[in-house]
Amino acid sequence: ANSASSQKQAAETVTDKANSASAKTSEVKTANTKGKKILVAYFSQSGNTRRAAEQIHKLVGGDIVEVKTVTPYPTGYNECVEVAKKEKETNARPELSTKVDNMASYDVIFVGYPIWWHTAPMPIYTFLESYNLSGKTVIPFCTSGGSDISESMDAIKSLCPNSNILEGLTANDANKIEPWLTRIGMR
Ligand SMILES: Cc1cc2nc3c(=O)[nH]c(=O)nc-3n(C[C@H](O)[C@H](O)[C@H](O)COP(=O)(O)O)c2cc1C
């Protein structure tokens, strides 16, 4: 029985290595990421959310994609704030240049964004409405100037009505990323 169980452990270690680039070979994990195909999709205007997305991607593996708009946002903060305000007020759906052709093949989609005007930026609305995410696991994360991700959760829920939405993270503190991934069973 001992040798069978150590063989099983060895097999799990190998599977785990394949799933998670940073998994230590000495660890045996049973996180539900096993065999799941993961996409980390993020929108980022000034790079904060990109850094969080890259860290998540490093820890969970899978693919990463930046959600980009056809028309870029103004680089000046005040100008960007004005454009974003108008887009929110008009419930706009800015056109995206990013297309994920193989969305159907993903089981888990991390969706990252800065909080804009106390919700997700409108390109995230366009993005989530562009795909059938029924039955998929959707995991939101954000960065912000202080707002909590909860401000955007109603939007995410209504944009992904048939998805399994896990606890989101306000990822302003990079040290919170790994414990969160562990908590939600992604590590
Ligand atoms: C248009 C706009 C609206 C914003 N609205 C909020 C907000 O409502 N609450 C908040 O805490 N921060 C707000 N911020 C700050 C951003 O959420 C924060 O700087 C974020 O980390 C930027 O992420 P990024 O570097 O990935 O673009 C806003 C920033 C911009 C440009």
Going from the Cα of 142 to the center of ligand 1, the distance in angstroms, rounded, reads 9
Task: Tell me if 78 is assigned to some domain.
Answer: yes
Specify the ligand 1 atom closest to the Cα of 46. Answer: 25
Nearest residue (CA) to ligand 1, atom 31: 81
Asked if residue 171 has its Cβ within 6 Å of ligand 1, the reply is no
Convert the pLDDT of each residue in 23-77 to its tens digit. 444 343 334 567 899 999 999 999 999 999 999 999 999 999 999 999 999 999 9
Counted domains in the chain = 1
Task: Tell me if 181 is assigned to some domain.
Answer: no
Residue 187 to residue 180: CA distance in whole angstroms: 9
Task: Tell me if 137 is assigned to some domain.
Answer: yes
Q: What is the interface pTM, i.e. ipTM, of the complex?
A: 0.99
Task: Tell me if 52 is assigned to some domain.
Answer: yes
Residue 129 to residue 100: CA distance in whole angstroms: 12
Task: Tell me if 134 is assigned to some domain.
Answer: yes
Convert the pLDDT of each residue in 76-85 to its tens digit. 999 999 999 9
Give the closest residue to 127 by CA, choosing from 99, 107, 153. 99
pTM of the model: 0.85
